Amino acid sequence: MANAPAPLTRNLRVRRHRGHTVLEFHGEIDIAAAVRILPRLDRVTARPESRVVIDLSGVEFFDCSGLRLLHRVRNRVLGQGGDVLLVCTHPLTLRVLAVTGLSRLVPPRPTLDAALAWSGAGSVRSIRPAARRRAR
């Protein structure tokens, strides 16, 4: 039962898959959704060395509130030695991620399996902010 998904909230479902915590966002991710999602995200990202996948494949609308959530998850997880992966195929969301530069920090993959395969290749560690600062 460890892989059973947590109850679906209106905009977020949390589940385990192949050793990763998958955060499935759904519907419209705006300021109202962010207020509901934030406490749950903070609980999930409080664990050291978490392996998190943010899955935006169920998102219909994504604004700056969603960007703040993604940035917060990334900073919290990487700051505690974890890894963050991103799944996204929606053209408008991909454009927002590219324009803001977030796609350079957490490159989106088209499927969960593609993200996990990319993680297995060791690429995630190369985008950690602390590692980049030390290399300079």
Q: What is the pLDDT along the chain (136 residues), one digit of tens a residue?
A: 345 444 456 899 999 999 999 999 999 999 999 999 999 999 999 999 999 999 999 999 999 999 999 999 999 999 999 999 999 999 999 999 999 999 999 999 999 999 999 875 544 443 444 444 444 4
Give, in order, the Cα–Cα distances in Å from 10 to each of 6, 21, 28.
12, 18, 9
Q: CA 9, CA 93: separation in Å to the nearest integer?
A: 21
Domain residue spans of the chain: 12-112+124-135
Strand partners, 86: 54, 108
CATH topology assigned to domain 12-112+124-135: Transcription Regulator spoIIAA (3.30.750)
Strand partners, 26: 58
Side chain identity at residue 72, one-letter code: R
pLDDT at residue number 118: 84
Does this model's pTM top 0.85? My answer is: no
